[in-house]
Amino acid sequence: MIGAVPQPTDRALSRWENEGGTAAAIARREEFPGLAGGWHYLDSAATAQKPQAVIDACTRALGADYATVHRGVYARSAEMTLAFEAARAKVAALIGGTADELVFTRGATEAINLVARSFPACGEKPRRVLLSQLEHHSNIVPWQLAGWQIDVCPLTADGQIDLDAAEAMLTTDFDMVAFAHVSNVLGSVLDVPRAAALSRKVGACLLLDGCQAAARMPVDVAALDCDFYAFSAHKLYGPTGIGALWGKPGLLAAMPPWQGGGAMIERVTFAQTTFAPPPQRFEAGTPAIVEAIGFGAAADYVQGVGVGAIQAHEAALVRQLRDELRGINAITLFGPEDSAGIVSFALAGVHPHDLGTILDEEGPDGTRVAIRAGHHCAQPLMDQLGVPATARASFGLYSDESDIAALLRGIERTRRIFG
């Protein structure tokens, strides 16, 4: 199994039971209303809790500031339009892009669907994409539905995308390489510069699924040399229902719209329609105005904390948790030691769903722990790991050592229950 770690010893309970540590949250937990009540939230890879600043921005946008954008000639509409486009610029700046390069979508899933549908074909041959064994379903199914020929790159023993294998597989027949920047299951981080160089060598474009990376580490699309970058707001401490696709301007300009309607047009007649330039070309209909404002507020919040600080904070928590879990002989760990904010594991004799259910029950100390349990929308990876599911703990900027302590207490309680 990929990333399986031998378990030589069995320690009774974590040292966090009795010792203080150093990895305090880098954002005040009280700023996140969803964390109230002694709840230890370790499911940020699925969706992050929202700071009050984002909630307030959405409330104002939906209430006192609300108006439509781009169409109104009255003052409030003009002001909302400015705020909407300012949010686009903030989100783009977070990953080192500019506003004219960033398309608002309903999420990273829609962003990848957009590229899969709109990327131009070359002649009669089917478009061909290289994916990896660890991809989220959202970076598999869109290519299937759009009729692409899919090749699959294997993984290394510790759960990294095997770029040596990718180099051997890639030929000039490929139009696209589409990899996760950070695995949502294993937390493994792609060597993007090398992936970009391999793509360039054969004339293929590189799309990165940045959902797990954008909230956890500094991203500079120019330095990464990718062609497309897809990510979602809700994993970045923003609202659901909105995400973004960053693309190189020349590529976006060459791609036709994949949905039609208002706002994405230049002129419409019954005989012919001409389309607006990107990014508006890909934003048919009234946009998610409130959500975009919230997305911008989340980008501000993350920038204020510092993405580099978040990366270092989560790395410390990952090291601590992996070290503790490694000392429990009933635990199997998956993925690399330096995983980014995510720790996947299995507890012998206990299905991850049962573990997740018990952790969510109130313990003797009155606390509850939320983890993810299942295939994490990565069933091909589960097949590779040889398990039906894993338990996944994932950190955020509000996580601290008390969350690790609560998780370890819950695991010990579960082991006693299953005897």
User: Where along the chain do its domains lie?
Assistant: 15-50+306-418, 54-305
pLDDT above 60 (res 8): no
Please report, as a single letter, which amino acid is at residue 373.
A
User: Higher model confidence: residue 9 or residue 213?
Assistant: 213
**pLDDT digits 0-9 by tens, 41-100:** 999 999 999 999 999 999 999 999 999 999 788 999 999 999 999 999 999 999 999 999
The confidence score (pLDDT) of residue 123 equals 66
Q: In this predicted structure, what is the pLDDT of residue 23?
A: 58
Of residues 221 and 126, more confidently modeled = 221
Q: Is 214 helix (H, G, I), strand (E, B) or coil?
A: coil
What pLDDT is attached to residue 25?
76
Q: Six-digit token pair at 184?
A: 């949502």
309 close to 398: Cβ distance less than 8 angstroms: no
Q: For all residues of the chain together, what is the average pLDDT? A: 93
pLDDT at site 307? 95
pLDDT at 367: 86
Catalytically annotated residues: 377
% of the chain surpassing 70 pLDDT? 94
pLDDT of 408 over the 70 cut: yes
Q: What is the enclosing helix (H) or strand (E) of 392?
A: strand 390-394
Q: In the predicted model, is pLDDT for residue 18 greater than 50?
A: no
Give the pLDDT band (50/70/90) at residue 16.
very low
Residue 419 has pLDDT above 50, yes or no: yes
**CATH of the domain spanning 15-50+306-418, picked from 3.40.718.10, 1.10.3210.10, 3.40.50.150, 3.90.1150.10:** 3.90.1150.10
**pLDDT tens profile 271-308:** 999 999 999 999 999 999 999 999 999 999 999 999 99
Calculate mean pLDDT across residues 178-193.
Answer: 98
Proportion of the chain in helix, strand, coil states, percent, rounded to 5: 40, 15, 45
The confidence score (pLDDT) of residue 364 equals 85
Q: For residues 114 and 149, what is the distance between their CA atoms, to the nearest angstrom?
A: 17
Q: Region 162-183: what's the mean pLDDT? A: 98
What span, in angstroms and rounded, lies between the C-alpha atoms of 329 and 320? 17
Q: What is the pLDDT of residues 138-159, one digit of tens each?
A: 999 999 999 999 999 999 999 9
Contact between 208 and 179 (Cβ < 8 Å): yes
CATH architecture for residues 54-305: 3-Layer(aba) Sandwich (3.40)
Pairwise pLDDT comparison (25 vs 368), residue with the higher score: 368
Q: What angle (nearest 5°) sits at the alpha carbon of residue 239, between those of residues 116 and 219?
A: 60
- Name which residue leads in pLDDT, 25 or 97: 97
- pLDDT at position 141 is 98
Q: Which of 189, 109, 101 is nearest to 145 (CA)?
A: 109
pLDDT score, position 126:
87
Q: What is the mean pLDDT of residues 186-197?
A: 98
